[in-house]
A and B are shown apart, each in its own frame.
Chain A
Amino acid sequence: MTDVRVYITGMGLVSPAGCGVSKTRDAIRRGEKKIRPLSLFSVSQDNRLPVGEVSESIETGGVPRTHQLALIAAKEAMAQCKDVPDAVVMGVTTGGMLSTERCLKAGDTNPESFKYHSTGSVAEHIAHEFRCYGPAITISTACSSGAVAIKIALEMLRTGRARMVLAGGADSLSRFTYYGFRALQLIDPEGARPLDKKRRGMSVAEGAAVLVLTACEDVPDNAIAEILGVGLSCDAHHPSAPHPEGAGALQAMKAAIRDAHISVAEIDYINLHGTGTIDNDLSEARALNTLFPDKKPLMSSIKGAFGHLLGAAGAMEAIVSALAVSENLIPANVGCDVPDPKLRLDPLMAPLETANVQTVLSNSFGFGGNNASVVIGSPNRVRPSVRLKGLSSFSVLGSACLTGAGNTEMSLERISGGKSCKGMVPAPVITEGLSPKVIRRLKRLPRLTLSLASAAHANSGLPDAPSSVFFGTGWGALSETYDFLTKLFESEEQFTSPIDFIGSVHNAPAGHVAIQFGSVGPNITTAGGDYSFEQALMLAGLMAKDIDDTLFVIGSDESHGVLSGLFDRSVRTDDTLSDGGGGLCLRRSESSAGLRTSVTFYENSKNNPSVISSLIVNLAGEEGIREKYGAILAGIPAGCRGRGEEQLRDFLSLSGFEGPVIDYRRFTGEFASASAVASVLAIRFVDRRELPGGLCGGETVYLRGKGILLIGLGDFVTATEVIH
């Protein structure tokens, strides 16, 4: 692979300073504070806390505010670009929550009102606008989402999966996050004062930041800055509090510096995570004092000026870092009057425009201990040539699933007999083998996920725990979300549950897996509707070089009596509520021996009329398909069954495939991560080298050394192979 370098060639930003990168740049130049009392929605007088709100009027045009903020930023980023992006990667934590909570409070039961609820729908909205054929990926790792999205885009570009990617993050203010952080007593009533002696917390904010990232061998004329590297880590310490010594933060910064092939001494400026909470700033300071024991680079947090943009924060700070290298503009640490001596840091008290900034390190850390550090450099900076490794595949060490029938063995038995596994996973099956102490605070989704991780690990027989976790969920923790909002509304917005708030973030289940197994490597949660598990598996493949040996890839979704039907159009078509998921324990492998799995295709069918032809070409044509695969498991979400069945017919007629084709949702029931169950089934069948007769009309089908192809159909078309 050649030395591909990744440049920022376009930027778009909506922040509390207003719409457009220039508004934020001007506010930084003047050292302004943009945090003001909340006005977007009404709260009782004694509740009115300062926030970072986009004060310009935002016409939402039928989509939730987050989607519109994201679109405004994306349009600005793409203003000078005529090409179609190959992929969209967005970091989002609450999606359409501002609209959802309003509708739920009003007792609205029309599913149309919730069709943009999912975090994944923001990336899809942008992909639709720019007619993007490729994947629309959603990263939901709480407050590091925007930075992790940049990492994924970087690896797509480095590995040649894309030439141009739109990457960023977006979140609007919502009652959910406003009251959630308030319940955690993490909001500073005076407005965030990062690193200040008197700091008492953060200010919740909103906005969107989108970058056009382009892969080039030579510096393009429109290069603003270069993404040199991104490092990820997980604290594996606590669901919401950072590691007291900043161990995970330090590990992420070191990984970023390694990934960028630079030395610590080359960093000129650090854009701090610097939320203003007592614990975050202390933990980050300890990590920085370890990394820079003597002379420290210039540093500041912009969260005292603009607040914490949650899912957009990491992407906004990448833009601010790009401005630092392109315009030598370093922001002041607004809000800090007297730096806390305990931190032993020296934040910039006024904006600086005279320093020569070549290299910036930008930190973003989140709930679940999900840490990301981004290294951004001047495009003209001299850097040694770096040859990057290509994609690795994964060998399957262990697998496990949960369905309405029960655990893996129970599910296999039912499915092998051609019987349905529909229904909700029985509660005693989920908690079997899990310590009551560990699951005391966990509701259905984190329990399902922990149970899958434990069973997949047990099935692998590995003595050690996997170091990384990739988790896909269509809808996240619905029980926690529902309970949080119900308590809030019942008490007239007075009381709610901090435990439910922490548990409601999409990445909470993956965080619990990390804590349970001590997995301190990259920990990524994807939320791409019916394709969330495929996103998680694909990202694991992209990140292979950052993974230390073994990893978990898990997909799970819970069924919720009220929310599942409102949110998921596929769930509404079935009389039986179903849930469950699948977990894999994998090892990075360069060899082609043993049982292996990978995602080989992921395209947007709405924007690509010839998606099935592309799929067949990707799978090496009719002959390639016939030679490699002995059976197909097709995932057709009921919500797009007509389109999915047509796609399957096209695929079968164009590929001439004559082996068994199993429409697996008829057995698993309707839930977003049904494909994770199907992956586990495929692994077990390929391992046994046969497909049970009950599934294919009576006779056992012998695979004769061939693998199984899992095809995801509907709004996106995906291909995942399980081969020997």
Chain B
Amino acid sequence: MEEAVKILINELKIKIIDTLNFEDITPDDIVEHHQLVGGELGIDSIDILELVMMIDKDYGIKIDNKELGEKVFASLTSLANFIYENSKSVAN
């Protein structure tokens, strides 16, 4: 895994905890390759939409349909990779 993606994963853990108001969860509790939706964190479709808004705001990347959303939010790793790939193209 590229170093940049690793940094992104750690950054996203904090953002997820903050955005979704997880008071009793630390970044270490989020395992990047675990299922994000419907997993042990109890994240559901509304949480995903809240994260969509955060990603648009903080990274300038839009995820505006369900099919793409399901693929991107499969796990934290897939989310970080998607943001990494798309911010590269934005930067270029």
Contact = CB atoms under 8 A, between A and B. Distances in A.
A238 B44 CA distance: 10
Contact of A497 (B22, B42, B53, B64): B53
Interface in A239-257: 239-241
Contacts of B45: 241
**Would you call the interface of chain A mostly helix, strand, loop, or mixed?**
loop
B88 interface: no
Contact residues on B (Cβ < 8 Å of other chain), bracket: 10 to 19
Interface in B3-48: 20-24, 42, 44-47
Contact of B66 (A185, A437, A440): A185
Contact of B42 (A184, A437, A498): A437
B59 to A, nearest CB: 12
A410 interface: no
Contact of A498 (B22, B24, B53, B64): B53
A230 to B, nearest CB: 29
A440 B20 CA distance: 8
A240 B50 CA distance: 14
A495 B56 contact: yes
B40 to A, nearest CB: 11
Interface in B43-69: 44-47, 49-50, 52-53, 56-57, 64-66
Contacts of B56: 494-495
Contacts of A502: 46
Contact of B21 (A184, A441, A495): A441
A496 interface: yes
Interface in A416-443: 436-437, 440-441
A183 B50 CA distance: 8
Contact of B50 (A436, A437, A499): A499
A183 B65 CA distance: 12
A37 to B, nearest CB: 18
Contact residues on A (Cβ < 8 Å of other chain), bracket: 20 to 34
A385 interface: no
A496 B53 contact: yes
A185 B22 contact: no
Contact of B65 (A185, A239, A436): A185
A44 interface: no
A278 interface: yes
B46 A499 contact: yes
B61 to A, nearest CB: 13
Nearest to A436: B24
B46 A239 contact: yes
A495 B46 CA distance: 15
A491 B64 contact: no
Interface in A462-503: 491, 494-499, 502
A495 B53 contact: yes
A497 B66 contact: no
Interface in A272-305: 278
Contacts of B42: 437, 440
Given A278-B66, A437-B42, A495-B57, A183 B49 contact: yes
A497 B22 CA distance: 16
B21 A440 contact: yes
A498 B57 contact: no
B23 A184 contact: no
Interface string A605-649: 000000000000000000000000000000000000000000000
Nearest to A184: B49
A183 B63 CA distance: 11
Nearest to A182: B64
Interface in A183-225: 183-185
A437 B56 CA distance: 26
A200 to B, nearest CB: 8
Given A241-B45, A278-B66, A440 B50 contact: no
Contacts of A185: 49, 52, 64-66
A446 to B, nearest CB: 13
Interface string A656-671: 0000000000000000
Interface string A168-194: 000000000000000111000000000
Given A185-B66, A241-B45, A499-B46, A436 B53 contact: no
Contacts of A498: 46, 49-50, 53
A341 to B, nearest CB: 19
A495 to B, nearest CB: 5
B19 to A, nearest CB: 9
A278 B69 CA distance: 15
A440 B49 contact: no
Given A185-B66, A497-B53, A441 B23 contact: no
* Most chain A CB inside 10 Å of its own CB: which residue of B22, B49, B52: B49
B22 A441 contact: no
Contacts of B22: 440
A356 to B, nearest CB: 42
A347 B81 CA distance: 43
A495 B20 CA distance: 16
Interface of A: 183-185, 238-241, 278, 436-437, 440-441, 491, 494-499, 502
12 contacts: A184-B46, A185-B49, A241-B45, A440-B20, A440-B22, A440-B23, A441-B46, A495-B53, A495-B57, A496-B53, A498-B49, A499-B47
Query: Nearest 7 A-B pairs (CB), nearest first?
Result: A498-B49, A495-B57, A499-B50, A436-B24, A495-B53, A440-B21, A498-B50
Given A497-B53, A499-B50, 10 more contacts: A185-B52, A185-B66, A239-B46, A241-B45, A278-B66, A436-B23, A437-B42, A440-B42, A491-B57, A495-B53
